[in-house]
Copies of this chain bind each other. A is one copy, B any other.
Amino acid sequence: MSDLLERLRGRGWRMTSQRRVVAEVLNGDHVHLTADEVHARAARRLPEISRATVYNTLGELVSLGEVIEVSTDGRAKRYDPNAHHPHQHLVCSNCGTIRDVHPRGNPLADLPAEERFGFTVSEAEVTYRGLCPSCA
């Protein structure tokens, strides 16, 4: 999605080579990279890029709603650029592979009022776990 760069520019983002490279690395479907993986790939195109910049840029993309932060395993967070199509995640308990999936219905609707305890519930995040074909 290269209109990402357009959208960011439209939001007043100062366009630097670092930000451009990070945005380009996060491109395509079923991308779920850790910050370190993003840094490694970005560094292939821009060797001097620092980890701090990658963390900063990812954080900004998340607050802008362009990227979703996913922590499926209590280890490093992963960054999912597929932010404009609601979806959930299916994770292999063995190898960690992640797939985007689309369950039926709206998970939020399954939480009855009497189970909300006065919370203003705004989001439901579902992680399906199991073994992928290669690991089964």
Question: What residues of chain A have their CB less than 8 Å away from a CB belonging to chain B?
Answer: 69, 71, 73-74, 77, 90, 92-93, 99, 101-105, 107-108, 110-112, 115-133, 136
Contact = CB atoms under 8 A, between A and B. Distances in A.
B120 A136 contact: yes
Q: How many copies altogether?
A: 2
A131 B99 CA distance: 29
Nearest to A76: B74
Contacts of A90: 111, 115-117, 119, 121
A126 B107 contact: yes
B128 A123 contact: yes
B107 A101 contact: no
Contacts of A93: 122
A77 to B, nearest CB: 5
A30 B33 CA distance: 33
Contacts of A121: 90, 128-130
Given A74-B77, A127-B124, A119 B92 contact: yes
